[in-house]
Amino acid sequence: MTQPWSPAPASGTAVPARREPANLADILERVLDKGIVIAGDIRVNLLDVELLTIRLRLLIASVDRAKEMGIDWWEHDPTLSSSAHDLADENRRLRERIGELEPGHEHKPGGELPASARNGHRVPRDEPAVRVGAFPDER
Amino acid sequence: MSGYATWVYAVTRDLRPDALSEVAGVAGEPVRTVTGHGLTAVIGSVDAEQFGEEGFERRLADPAELAAIARAHHGVVEAVSAAQAALPLRLATVYRDDDRVRDMLGQRRGDFAATLTWLAGRAEYGVKVWADLQELSVTGDEPPAAAGGPSGSRQGAGAAYLSRRRAQLSARDRRRQAAAEGGAAIHTALSALAAAGRQHPPQDIPLPGDHDRPGDGQPELMVLNGAYLVEPGSLPQFSHAAQSAVSARPGFRLELTGPWPPYSFAGGPEGTA
Protein backbone atom coordinates (compact mmCIF):
# COMPACT_ATOMS: atom_id res chain seq x y z
CA MET A 1 0.00 0.00 0.00
CA THR A 2 1.46 3.33 -0.96
CA GLN A 3 1.24 5.78 1.84
CA PRO A 4 1.31 9.40 0.81
CA TRP A 5 3.37 10.39 3.80
CA SER A 6 4.16 7.16 5.47
CA PRO A 7 6.89 6.99 8.06
CA ALA A 8 10.32 7.31 6.51
CA PRO A 9 12.16 4.50 8.25
CA ALA A 10 15.70 5.80 8.23
CA SER A 11 15.62 9.54 7.94
CA GLY A 12 12.80 10.15 10.37
CA THR A 13 11.42 13.03 8.37
CA ALA A 14 7.75 12.67 7.78
CA VAL A 15 6.40 15.59 5.87
CA PRO A 16 4.70 14.49 2.69
CA ALA A 17 6.91 15.17 -0.24
CA ARG A 18 4.12 15.27 -2.76
CA ARG A 19 0.51 14.39 -3.19
CA GLU A 20 -0.27 10.93 -4.54
CA PRO A 21 -3.57 9.78 -5.93
CA ALA A 22 -5.86 9.03 -3.02
CA ASN A 23 -7.33 5.60 -2.71
CA LEU A 24 -10.91 5.12 -3.72
CA ALA A 25 -12.19 3.98 -0.34
CA ASP A 26 -10.92 7.22 1.22
CA ILE A 27 -12.50 9.30 -1.53
CA LEU A 28 -15.86 7.53 -1.27
CA GLU A 29 -15.91 7.85 2.47
CA ARG A 30 -15.53 11.59 2.11
CA VAL A 31 -17.63 12.49 -0.93
CA LEU A 32 -20.54 10.24 0.04
CA ASP A 33 -20.56 10.71 3.76
CA LYS A 34 -18.84 14.02 4.53
CA GLY A 35 -18.99 17.48 3.02
CA ILE A 36 -21.83 19.92 3.39
CA VAL A 37 -25.27 18.54 2.88
CA ILE A 38 -27.58 20.99 1.15
CA ALA A 39 -30.96 20.00 -0.17
CA GLY A 40 -30.68 20.71 -3.88
CA ASP A 41 -33.57 20.76 -6.32
CA ILE A 42 -33.04 17.23 -7.45
CA ARG A 43 -33.43 14.64 -4.78
CA VAL A 44 -30.93 11.93 -5.31
CA ASN A 45 -31.32 9.08 -2.94
CA LEU A 46 -27.85 7.75 -2.51
CA LEU A 47 -27.71 4.09 -1.77
CA ASP A 48 -26.58 3.07 1.63
CA VAL A 49 -22.87 3.89 1.76
CA GLU A 50 -21.96 0.46 3.01
CA LEU A 51 -23.79 -1.16 0.15
CA LEU A 52 -22.11 1.13 -2.35
CA THR A 53 -18.70 0.41 -0.96
CA ILE A 54 -19.27 -3.30 -0.98
CA ARG A 55 -20.51 -3.27 -4.53
CA LEU A 56 -17.42 -1.42 -5.46
CA ARG A 57 -15.18 -3.91 -3.75
CA LEU A 58 -17.02 -6.65 -5.53
CA LEU A 59 -16.36 -5.01 -8.84
CA ILE A 60 -12.73 -4.63 -7.95
CA ALA A 61 -12.65 -8.28 -7.02
CA SER A 62 -13.94 -9.17 -10.47
CA VAL A 63 -10.78 -8.02 -12.10
CA ASP A 64 -11.16 -9.99 -15.26
CA ARG A 65 -14.72 -8.95 -15.79
CA ALA A 66 -13.88 -5.32 -15.21
CA LYS A 67 -10.99 -5.53 -17.62
CA GLU A 68 -13.40 -6.77 -20.25
CA MET A 69 -15.41 -3.66 -19.56
CA GLY A 70 -12.32 -1.58 -20.21
CA ILE A 71 -11.99 -0.39 -16.63
CA ASP A 72 -8.50 -0.37 -15.27
CA TRP A 73 -8.30 2.42 -12.76
CA TRP A 74 -7.34 0.03 -9.98
CA GLU A 75 -4.06 -0.52 -11.77
CA HIS A 76 -3.20 2.94 -10.54
CA ASP A 77 -4.65 2.35 -7.11
CA PRO A 78 -1.93 0.75 -5.00
CA THR A 79 -4.35 -0.24 -2.27
CA LEU A 80 -6.26 -2.37 -4.68
CA SER A 81 -3.57 -3.82 -6.87
CA SER A 82 -1.56 -5.07 -3.91
CA SER A 83 -4.25 -7.44 -2.71
CA ALA A 84 -4.82 -9.38 -5.91
CA HIS A 85 -4.16 -12.75 -4.34
CA ASP A 86 -7.12 -12.43 -2.00
CA LEU A 87 -9.54 -11.49 -4.68
CA ALA A 88 -11.24 -14.78 -5.37
CA ASP A 89 -12.01 -15.39 -1.74
CA GLU A 90 -13.06 -11.83 -1.13
CA ASN A 91 -15.26 -11.94 -4.18
CA ARG A 92 -17.18 -14.88 -2.78
CA ARG A 93 -17.62 -13.29 0.61
CA LEU A 94 -18.75 -10.01 -0.88
CA ARG A 95 -21.37 -11.74 -2.98
CA GLU A 96 -22.79 -13.30 0.14
CA ARG A 97 -22.78 -9.96 1.86
CA ILE A 98 -24.55 -8.27 -1.02
CA GLY A 99 -27.16 -10.97 -0.87
CA GLU A 100 -27.82 -9.92 2.67
CA LEU A 101 -27.90 -6.22 1.99
CA GLU A 102 -29.91 -5.96 -1.20
CA PRO A 103 -33.33 -7.05 0.05
CA GLY A 104 -33.07 -4.50 2.83
CA HIS A 105 -32.25 -1.81 0.36
CA GLU A 106 -35.25 -2.53 -1.82
CA HIS A 107 -37.69 -2.22 1.00
CA LYS A 108 -36.18 0.75 2.75
CA PRO A 109 -33.96 2.76 0.44
CA GLY A 110 -31.14 4.39 2.29
CA GLY A 111 -32.48 3.29 5.63
CA GLU A 112 -31.69 0.68 8.20
CA LEU A 113 -31.51 -2.84 7.00
CA PRO A 114 -34.05 -5.17 8.50
CA ALA A 115 -32.63 -7.37 11.20
CA SER A 116 -33.19 -10.43 9.05
CA ALA A 117 -30.96 -9.04 6.35
CA ARG A 118 -28.24 -8.12 8.79
CA ASN A 119 -28.23 -11.41 10.59
CA GLY A 120 -29.07 -13.63 7.69
CA HIS A 121 -25.86 -15.52 7.16
CA ARG A 122 -24.16 -15.17 10.45
CA VAL A 123 -22.17 -18.27 11.04
CA PRO A 124 -21.61 -19.25 14.62
CA ARG A 125 -17.93 -20.02 14.79
CA ASP A 126 -15.94 -21.58 17.54
CA GLU A 127 -18.70 -21.12 20.03
CA PRO A 128 -18.28 -23.34 23.07
CA ALA A 129 -21.96 -24.20 22.90
CA VAL A 130 -21.48 -25.75 19.49
CA ARG A 131 -18.70 -27.94 20.75
CA VAL A 132 -20.40 -29.32 23.81
CA GLY A 133 -22.21 -31.92 21.79
CA ALA A 134 -18.96 -33.05 20.24
CA PHE A 135 -17.44 -33.70 23.63
CA PRO A 136 -20.21 -35.34 25.61
CA ASP A 137 -18.00 -36.26 28.53
CA GLU A 138 -18.19 -32.79 30.02
CA ARG A 139 -19.05 -33.00 33.70
CA MET B 1 -37.25 24.04 -19.22
CA SER B 2 -33.60 23.64 -20.11
CA GLY B 3 -31.97 20.29 -20.65
CA TYR B 4 -29.31 21.10 -18.10
CA ALA B 5 -29.07 21.11 -14.36
CA THR B 6 -26.37 22.63 -12.17
CA TRP B 7 -24.08 20.39 -10.16
CA VAL B 8 -22.36 22.05 -7.20
CA TYR B 9 -18.87 20.97 -6.17
CA ALA B 10 -17.76 23.44 -3.57
CA VAL B 11 -18.28 26.87 -2.10
CA THR B 12 -15.40 29.28 -1.71
CA ARG B 13 -14.60 32.98 -1.83
CA ASP B 14 -12.83 34.49 -4.82
CA LEU B 15 -11.14 32.03 -7.06
CA ARG B 16 -8.28 32.65 -9.46
CA PRO B 17 -9.69 32.34 -12.96
CA ASP B 18 -7.14 29.69 -13.89
CA ALA B 19 -7.76 27.51 -10.83
CA LEU B 20 -10.28 25.41 -12.69
CA SER B 21 -8.73 25.32 -16.13
CA GLU B 22 -7.23 21.85 -15.69
CA VAL B 23 -10.21 19.95 -14.34
CA ALA B 24 -13.37 18.50 -15.83
CA GLY B 25 -16.56 17.79 -13.95
CA VAL B 26 -18.58 14.67 -13.28
CA ALA B 27 -20.07 14.73 -16.77
CA GLY B 28 -16.77 15.72 -18.35
CA GLU B 29 -18.10 19.27 -18.50
CA PRO B 30 -15.97 22.38 -18.03
CA VAL B 31 -16.18 23.64 -14.50
CA ARG B 32 -17.24 27.24 -13.90
CA THR B 33 -18.38 29.47 -11.09
CA VAL B 34 -21.39 31.46 -10.01
CA THR B 35 -20.92 34.29 -7.53
CA GLY B 36 -23.18 36.12 -5.16
CA HIS B 37 -23.28 37.43 -1.60
CA GLY B 38 -19.49 37.52 -1.43
CA LEU B 39 -19.22 33.82 -2.15
CA THR B 40 -18.38 31.68 -5.14
CA ALA B 41 -19.98 28.34 -5.93
CA VAL B 42 -18.00 26.03 -8.17
CA ILE B 43 -20.45 24.39 -10.54
CA GLY B 44 -20.88 22.50 -13.77
CA SER B 45 -23.77 21.98 -16.17
CA VAL B 46 -24.89 18.39 -16.38
CA ASP B 47 -27.58 16.77 -18.49
CA ALA B 48 -30.82 17.13 -16.55
CA GLU B 49 -32.03 13.73 -17.59
CA GLN B 50 -28.82 11.80 -17.03
CA PHE B 51 -28.44 13.43 -13.65
CA GLY B 52 -32.12 13.53 -12.83
CA GLU B 53 -33.48 11.53 -9.97
CA GLU B 54 -34.17 8.25 -11.62
CA GLY B 55 -31.37 7.92 -14.10
CA PHE B 56 -28.82 9.16 -11.69
CA GLU B 57 -29.67 6.77 -8.90
CA ARG B 58 -29.32 3.92 -11.33
CA ARG B 59 -25.93 5.17 -12.41
CA LEU B 60 -24.69 5.57 -8.89
CA ALA B 61 -25.65 2.00 -8.19
CA ASP B 62 -23.19 0.95 -10.87
CA PRO B 63 -19.84 0.72 -9.12
CA ALA B 64 -17.80 1.74 -12.15
CA GLU B 65 -19.92 4.84 -12.70
CA LEU B 66 -19.90 5.64 -9.03
CA ALA B 67 -16.12 5.39 -8.91
CA ALA B 68 -15.73 7.67 -11.91
CA ILE B 69 -18.22 10.23 -10.59
CA ALA B 70 -16.69 10.20 -7.12
CA ARG B 71 -13.20 10.71 -8.50
CA ALA B 72 -14.34 13.52 -10.79
CA HIS B 73 -16.20 15.30 -7.99
CA HIS B 74 -13.19 14.93 -5.74
CA GLY B 75 -10.86 16.15 -8.48
CA VAL B 76 -12.76 19.42 -8.80
CA VAL B 77 -13.01 19.91 -5.05
CA GLU B 78 -9.31 19.27 -4.72
CA ALA B 79 -8.43 21.81 -7.43
CA VAL B 80 -10.56 24.46 -5.72
CA SER B 81 -9.16 23.62 -2.35
CA ALA B 82 -5.58 23.86 -3.60
CA ALA B 83 -6.24 27.46 -4.65
CA GLN B 84 -8.41 28.74 -1.84
CA ALA B 85 -10.18 27.66 1.36
CA ALA B 86 -13.21 25.72 0.18
CA LEU B 87 -16.24 23.93 1.53
CA PRO B 88 -16.73 20.63 -0.26
CA LEU B 89 -20.33 19.72 -0.98
CA ARG B 90 -21.54 16.20 -0.64
CA LEU B 91 -21.73 14.24 -3.86
CA ALA B 92 -24.88 14.81 -5.89
CA THR B 93 -25.99 18.29 -4.87
CA VAL B 94 -27.87 19.37 -7.98
CA TYR B 95 -29.98 22.47 -8.70
CA ARG B 96 -32.32 23.33 -11.52
CA ASP B 97 -30.15 26.24 -12.66
CA ASP B 98 -27.45 28.71 -11.65
CA ASP B 99 -29.92 31.17 -10.13
CA ARG B 100 -31.04 28.57 -7.64
CA VAL B 101 -27.42 28.09 -6.62
CA ARG B 102 -27.05 31.84 -6.12
CA ASP B 103 -30.16 31.82 -3.92
CA MET B 104 -28.64 29.05 -1.86
CA LEU B 105 -25.45 31.08 -1.37
CA GLY B 106 -27.57 33.93 -0.05
CA GLN B 107 -29.50 31.73 2.35
CA ARG B 108 -26.42 30.14 3.84
CA ARG B 109 -23.92 32.98 3.54
CA GLY B 110 -23.49 33.47 7.30
CA ASP B 111 -22.54 29.83 7.96
CA PHE B 112 -20.43 29.57 4.86
CA ALA B 113 -18.42 32.70 5.54
CA ALA B 114 -17.75 31.71 9.15
CA THR B 115 -16.65 28.20 8.23
CA LEU B 116 -14.43 29.42 5.40
CA THR B 117 -12.69 31.75 7.83
CA TRP B 118 -12.19 28.91 10.27
CA LEU B 119 -10.79 26.61 7.57
CA ALA B 120 -8.47 29.16 5.97
CA GLY B 121 -4.89 27.97 5.84
CA ARG B 122 -5.70 24.56 7.26
CA ALA B 123 -5.93 21.18 5.60
CA GLU B 124 -7.43 17.84 6.49
CA TYR B 125 -5.14 14.87 7.09
CA GLY B 126 -6.25 11.30 7.48
CA VAL B 127 -4.75 8.98 10.07
CA LYS B 128 -5.53 5.30 9.90
CA VAL B 129 -4.21 2.94 12.52
CA TRP B 130 -4.40 -0.83 12.42
CA ALA B 131 -3.58 -3.22 15.22
CA ASP B 132 -2.41 -6.76 14.62
CA LEU B 133 -4.11 -8.57 17.47
CA GLN B 134 -1.56 -11.36 17.42
CA GLU B 135 1.33 -8.99 17.94
CA LEU B 136 -0.13 -6.76 20.62
CA SER B 137 1.64 -6.92 23.91
CA VAL B 138 -1.03 -7.51 26.49
CA THR B 139 -0.34 -8.60 30.03
CA GLY B 140 -2.01 -11.68 31.45
CA ASP B 141 -1.99 -13.52 28.16
CA GLU B 142 -0.43 -16.78 29.26
CA PRO B 143 -2.55 -19.78 28.39
CA PRO B 144 -3.79 -21.91 31.28
CA ALA B 145 -2.04 -25.19 32.15
CA ALA B 146 -2.20 -27.53 29.19
CA ALA B 147 -5.08 -29.96 29.27
CA GLY B 148 -4.01 -33.57 29.72
CA GLY B 149 -1.20 -32.63 32.09
CA PRO B 150 -1.17 -33.97 35.65
CA SER B 151 -3.49 -31.29 36.98
CA GLY B 152 -5.89 -31.76 34.09
CA SER B 153 -6.10 -35.53 34.23
CA ARG B 154 -9.48 -35.58 35.92
CA GLN B 155 -10.97 -33.22 33.36
CA GLY B 156 -12.69 -34.67 30.36
CA ALA B 157 -11.52 -33.64 26.91
CA GLY B 158 -14.62 -31.50 26.48
CA ALA B 159 -14.13 -29.60 29.69
CA ALA B 160 -10.49 -29.09 28.88
CA TYR B 161 -11.43 -27.84 25.47
CA LEU B 162 -13.96 -25.47 26.97
CA SER B 163 -11.62 -24.01 29.51
CA ARG B 164 -8.94 -23.58 26.88
CA ARG B 165 -11.45 -21.99 24.60
CA ARG B 166 -12.67 -19.67 27.31
CA ALA B 167 -9.14 -18.55 28.01
CA GLN B 168 -8.56 -17.93 24.33
CA LEU B 169 -11.72 -15.89 24.04
CA SER B 170 -10.92 -13.72 26.98
CA ALA B 171 -7.35 -13.25 25.77
CA ARG B 172 -8.73 -12.12 22.46
CA ASP B 173 -11.18 -9.80 24.19
CA ARG B 174 -8.33 -8.29 26.14
CA ARG B 175 -6.38 -7.77 22.94
CA ARG B 176 -9.34 -6.19 21.23
CA GLN B 177 -9.86 -3.96 24.20
CA ALA B 178 -6.20 -2.95 24.24
CA ALA B 179 -6.33 -2.24 20.50
CA ALA B 180 -9.41 -0.03 20.89
CA GLU B 181 -7.88 1.83 23.81
CA GLY B 182 -4.72 2.41 21.82
CA GLY B 183 -6.72 3.85 18.95
CA ALA B 184 -8.67 6.14 21.27
CA ALA B 185 -5.50 7.35 22.97
CA ILE B 186 -3.89 8.17 19.63
CA HIS B 187 -7.00 10.06 18.56
CA THR B 188 -6.96 12.13 21.74
CA ALA B 189 -3.27 12.92 21.39
CA LEU B 190 -3.57 13.93 17.74
CA SER B 191 -6.73 15.99 18.30
CA ALA B 192 -4.78 18.07 20.82
CA LEU B 193 -2.25 18.95 18.11
CA ALA B 194 -4.87 19.80 15.50
CA ALA B 195 -7.45 22.55 15.13
CA ALA B 196 -10.07 19.79 15.18
CA GLY B 197 -10.33 16.03 14.95
CA ARG B 198 -13.08 13.69 13.83
CA GLN B 199 -13.37 9.94 13.92
CA HIS B 200 -14.85 8.11 10.95
CA PRO B 201 -16.16 4.56 11.02
CA PRO B 202 -13.44 1.97 10.46
CA GLN B 203 -13.09 0.89 6.85
CA ASP B 204 -12.85 -2.81 7.53
CA ILE B 205 -16.38 -3.67 6.56
CA PRO B 206 -17.65 -6.67 8.47
CA LEU B 207 -18.41 -9.64 6.31
CA PRO B 208 -20.60 -12.66 7.02
CA GLY B 209 -19.36 -14.60 9.99
CA ASP B 210 -17.17 -11.87 11.40
CA HIS B 211 -19.94 -9.36 11.84
CA ASP B 212 -19.94 -9.55 15.61
CA ARG B 213 -16.36 -10.62 15.99
CA PRO B 214 -14.10 -8.30 14.10
CA GLY B 215 -10.60 -9.59 14.36
CA ASP B 216 -11.57 -13.23 14.42
CA GLY B 217 -10.56 -14.14 10.92
CA GLN B 218 -8.45 -11.10 10.17
CA PRO B 219 -5.79 -10.40 12.75
CA GLU B 220 -5.56 -6.73 11.79
CA LEU B 221 -8.24 -4.40 13.11
CA MET B 222 -8.61 -0.80 12.08
CA VAL B 223 -8.60 0.91 15.45
CA LEU B 224 -8.61 4.49 14.24
CA ASN B 225 -9.91 6.14 11.10
CA GLY B 226 -9.44 9.75 12.01
CA ALA B 227 -9.44 13.08 10.19
CA TYR B 228 -7.59 16.09 11.55
CA LEU B 229 -7.58 19.71 10.57
CA VAL B 230 -3.96 20.77 10.66
CA GLU B 231 -2.11 24.00 10.01
CA PRO B 232 0.90 23.70 7.72
CA GLY B 233 3.22 24.94 10.46
CA SER B 234 2.24 22.18 12.86
CA LEU B 235 2.24 19.40 10.28
CA PRO B 236 5.74 18.10 11.08
CA GLN B 237 4.91 17.96 14.77
CA PHE B 238 1.58 16.31 14.06
CA SER B 239 3.08 13.75 11.77
CA HIS B 240 5.86 12.98 14.20
CA ALA B 241 3.39 12.54 17.03
CA ALA B 242 1.36 10.07 14.96
CA GLN B 243 4.43 8.02 14.16
CA SER B 244 5.73 8.03 17.72
CA ALA B 245 2.37 7.01 19.13
CA VAL B 246 2.16 4.09 16.72
CA SER B 247 5.74 2.89 16.99
CA ALA B 248 5.45 2.96 20.77
CA ARG B 249 2.75 0.31 20.46
CA PRO B 250 3.94 -3.07 19.14
CA GLY B 251 1.55 -4.51 16.57
CA PHE B 252 0.20 -1.11 15.53
CA ARG B 253 0.55 0.16 11.98
CA LEU B 254 0.02 3.66 10.64
CA GLU B 255 -1.15 5.14 7.38
CA LEU B 256 -1.27 8.89 6.91
CA THR B 257 -3.14 10.45 4.01
CA GLY B 258 -3.56 13.97 2.80
CA PRO B 259 -3.67 16.82 2.43
CA TRP B 260 -7.39 16.50 1.79
CA PRO B 261 -9.93 19.23 1.13
CA PRO B 262 -11.68 19.70 4.48
CA TYR B 263 -14.51 17.25 3.81
CA SER B 264 -14.71 16.18 7.42
CA PHE B 265 -14.80 19.75 8.69
CA ALA B 266 -17.16 21.40 6.23
CA GLY B 267 -19.76 21.69 8.98
CA GLY B 268 -17.58 24.15 10.89
CA PRO B 269 -16.07 23.90 14.38
CA GLU B 270 -19.28 22.57 15.90
CA GLY B 271 -20.43 20.58 12.92
CA THR B 272 -20.29 16.87 12.69
CA ALA B 273 -20.00 16.76 8.90
Give the per-residue pLDDT at B194. Answer: 97
Q: Give the tens place of pLDDT for each residue, B97-148.
A: 999 999 999 999 999 999 999 999 999 999 999 999 888 876 655 555 444 4
Q: What mean pLDDT is reported for chain B?
A: 86
Q: Which residue has the higher pLDDT, B24 or B139?
A: B24
Q: Which residue has the higher pLDDT, B24 or A59?
A: B24
Give the per-residue pLDDT at A42. Answer: 80
pLDDT band, residue B57 (cuts 50/70/90): confident
Q: How many CB pairs under 8 A join A and B?
A: 213
Residues 20-79 of B with CB under 8 A from A: 51-53, 56-57, 60-61, 63-64, 66-68, 70-71, 73-74, 77
Give the per-residue pLDDT at A104. Answer: 54
Q: Which residue has the higher pLDDT, B23 or B271?
A: B23
Q: What is the DSSP letter of A36?
A: B
Q: Give the tens place of pLDDT for each residue, B70-107.
A: 999 999 999 999 999 999 999 889 999 999 999 999 99
The pTM of the whole model exceeds 0.95: no
> Above pLDDT 70, what percent of chain B?
86
Cβ contact (<8 Å) for A31 and B91?
yes
State whether residue B195 sits within 8 Å of chain A by CB. Answer: no
Q: Give the tens place of pLDDT for each residue, B237-267.
A: 999 999 999 999 999 999 999 999 999 999 9
Which residues of chain A fall short of a pLDDT of 50?
1-19, 62-66, 78, 81-85, 105-139
Per-residue pLDDT at B171 exceeds 80: yes
Give the per-residue pLDDT at B158. Answer: 86
Per-residue pLDDT at B225 exceeds 70: yes
Q: How far is A34 from chain B (nearest CA, A)?
A: 5
Give the per-residue pLDDT at B110. Answer: 95
Residue of B nearest to A110 (CA): B57
- Please determine, for the modelled complex, whether the ipTM score is greater than 0.85: no
Extract long-range pairs of B174-177: CB within 8 Å, 24+ residues apart. B174/B138, B174/B140, B174/B141, B175/B133, B175/B136, B175/B138, B175/B141, B175/B215, B176/B133, B176/B214, B176/B215, B176/B221
Q: How far is B245 from chain A (nearest CA, A)?
A: 12
